[in-house]
Amino acid sequence: MSSLRNNGLHIKHLSIEYKGGSSVLGDVSLTLPEHAIYTVIGPSGSGKSSLMRAIAGLLPAYRGEILFNGQSVHRKETLIGLVPQNYGLLPWKTVQSNIQMAMKIAHPLQQQREQEEQIRQWLTSLGISELKSRFPLSLSGGQQQRVAIARAFAILPTILLLDEPFSALDAMTREALQKIFLDNWLAHPATTLFVTHDVDEAISLGQKIIVMPSNQKDALEIVDNHTVFQMKHQDKRDSNEFFEQTKRIRKVMQEKW
Ligand SMILES: Nc1ncnc2c1ncn2[C@@H]1O[C@H](COP(=O)(O)OP(=O)(O)OP(=O)(O)O)[C@@H](O)[C@H]1O
Ligand SMILES: [Mg+2]
């Protein structure tokens, strides 16, 4: 079989059930080409975070297959960066050590000094350089979110999973970070799934938009968004295409939610 056909993240007939038997995701199949970036929107409780956790290898069990380039996604060769919905920072470590620890695990041979320099650059680009010696619980939600983003970026993952990474940010910071996020993705195009509750954000950041149904028996809908995606970031929101896309997505939401 040609390797090109296998390229990317392939989710095949994924079903998730938590202990106690409640089914959360029923038979989801999805292909995300390598280096693509898709956004995911869906009602609360539709299983978006569970999907992320399954891909990241944080669920003890699921049915179906999750493959990356034809092999199980859970091999150590496939580096996965996750920004969990609850940030997932270790409260007893400083901002700097939270990021450094992830880098040491991901790239054990890299020089510590080099890692420190990269951490400095990530924290600066996310506007939180003054927080490097603070502990997570002394930070605001939006600050913790940016630390979690810095940590996921810093390991230069093959697959990047972001679970509502900007939800705690004010509108201006959020827009600034969307731009930083896209610039970073262009420089290091990880295969990316980005969960958001915000329709505008889904349209601004995804090449395609995956709309999860509220009823897991319904199929998810995938809306192509390349026309908006390829526009200059600052021009997107004021464009006709963006407006049309908003109407299209809202219609799908009305049907599926
Ligand atoms: N550890 C768990 N044990 C049992 N049930 C769980 C667990 N985690 C999530 N669930 C249930 O699975 C369903 C999907 O949860 P999930 O967190 O994946 O939804 P979500 O789409 O991310 O929602 P939100 O938009 O609110 O973040 C919910 O009904 C939730 O109660
Ligand atoms: Mg969630």
**Confidence grade of residue 172 (pLDDT, cut at 50, 70, 90):** very high
Examine the domain organization and report whether 164 and 73 are in the same domain: yes
d(CA 36, CA 138): 35
Examine the domain organization and report whether 176 and 222 are in the same domain: yes
Q: What average pLDDT does the segment 175-187 reach? A: 94
| Domain contains 84 | no
User: Does any ligand 1 atom lie closer than 6 A to the CB of residue 45?
Assistant: yes
How far does residue 162's CA lie from ligand 1's centre (Å)? 16
The pLDDT, as a whole number, for residue 2 is 43
| Domain contains 231 | yes
Q: What average pLDDT does the segment 2-17 reach? A: 84
User: Does any ligand 1 atom lie closer than 6 A to the CB of residue 216?
Assistant: no
How far does residue 210's CA lie from ligand 1's centre (Å)? 18
Q: What percent of the chain has pLDDT over 70?
A: 98
User: Does any ligand 1 atom lie closer than 6 A to the CB of residue 44?
Assistant: yes
Range of the domain at 128: 90-157
Examine the domain organization and report whether 194 and 242 are in the same domain: yes
The pLDDT, as a whole number, for residue 22 is 84
Examine the domain organization and report whether 131 and 102 are in the same domain: yes
CATH code where residue 26 lies: 3.40.50.300
Tell me the residue ranges of DSSP E strands in the chain.
Answer: 9-17, 23-32, 37-41, 63-68, 71-72, 80-83, 159-163, 191-195, 208-211, 221-224
pLDDT digits (tens, 9 = 90+) for 188-238: 999 999 999 999 999 999 999 999 999 988 999 999 999 999 999 999 999
The pLDDT, as a whole number, for residue 128 is 96
Beta-bridge partner residues of 15: 63
Ligand nearest to the CA of 18: 1
Using DSSP's 3-state secondary structure scheme, residue 106 falls into helix
d(CA 207, CA 36): 7
Q: What percent of the chain has pLDDT over 90?
A: 93
Counting the structural domains of the chain, the total is 2
The first and second tokens of residue 56, run together, are 């990241």
d(CA 123, CA 106): 18
pTM over 0.85: yes
The pLDDT, as a whole number, for residue 19 is 87
| Domain contains 83 | no
The pLDDT, as a whole number, for residue 42 is 95
Examine the domain organization and report whether 48 and 173 are in the same domain: yes
d(CA 189, CA 244): 27
Beta-bridge partner residues of 23: 17
**Confidence grade of residue 20 (pLDDT, cut at 50, 70, 90):** confident
pLDDT reading at 79 higher than 80: yes
Mean pLDDT across the chain? 95
- Residue of minimum CA distance from atom 25 in ligand 1: 44
How far does residue 181's CA lie from ligand 2's centre (Å)? 20
Examine the domain organization and report whether 15 and 141 are in the same domain: no
Structural domain ending residue among the three candidates 157, 179, 198:
157
pLDDT reading at 1 higher than 90: no
The pLDDT, as a whole number, for residue 4 is 61
pLDDT reading at 29 higher than 70: yes
- Residue of minimum CA distance from atom 4 in ligand 1: 18
| Domain contains 186 | yes
The pLDDT, as a whole number, for residue 71 is 96
The first and second tokens of residue 191, run together, are 């295969």
